[in-house]
Amino acid sequence: MRLPSEFLSYGWCQHHMAKNSQGDVCMFRSLDASSWCMQGALHRAYYAGGITWSEMLGLELWLQDQCAQPGKPPTIGSLVVWNDDPERSIGQAIALMCQAEATVLGPRLRDT
């Protein structure tokens, strides 16, 4: 697993960066982590060596822009609020992350 979408496909959570298989909060880098929020998946993929720091920032900025509330500027909170919406589903989270990866990492993904 290297890309953020791959981590989300393994497990997705809300209200925390990561949780273990018992549902307890843990660090996103922890080997015990089995689910991640959108933000946690970005950071986990970076620490796993799947994306570079600049790619992580590019993905984060693209996602913040997509998740911004109408009429409000995008912020880091935009992604957190979007992820933690009680109506949000894992399918929506994975789909948006895949769209971000295709947009931001597209050329690199096509070369592999």
Domain range summary for the chain, segments of one domain joined by +: 4-111
Q: What is the pLDDT of residues 52-63, one digit of tens each?
A: 999 999 999 999
Q: What is the pLDDT of residues 75-84, one digit of tens each?
A: 778 999 999 9
Please tell me the distance from the alpha carbon of residue 51 to that of residue 45, in angstroms, as a whole number: 6
Phi, psi of 106 (to 5 degrees): -40, -60
- Residue pair 51/59 in contact (Cβ under 8 Å)? The answer is yes
pLDDT of residue 75: 77
pTM: 0.90
Please tell me the distance from the alpha carbon of residue 4 to that of residue 39, in angstroms, as a whole number: 9
Instruction: Sort residue 76 into left (φ over 0), alpha (ψ -120 to 50) or beta.
Output: alpha
- Residue pair 48/61 in contact (Cβ under 8 Å)? The answer is no
Q: What is the pLDDT of residues 2-35, one digit of tens each?
A: 999 999 999 999 999 999 999 999 999 999 999 9
- Helix 90-104 to helix 53-67 angle (10° resolution) is 120
- DSSP line for 80-101: HHHHH-TT--HHHHHHHHHHHH
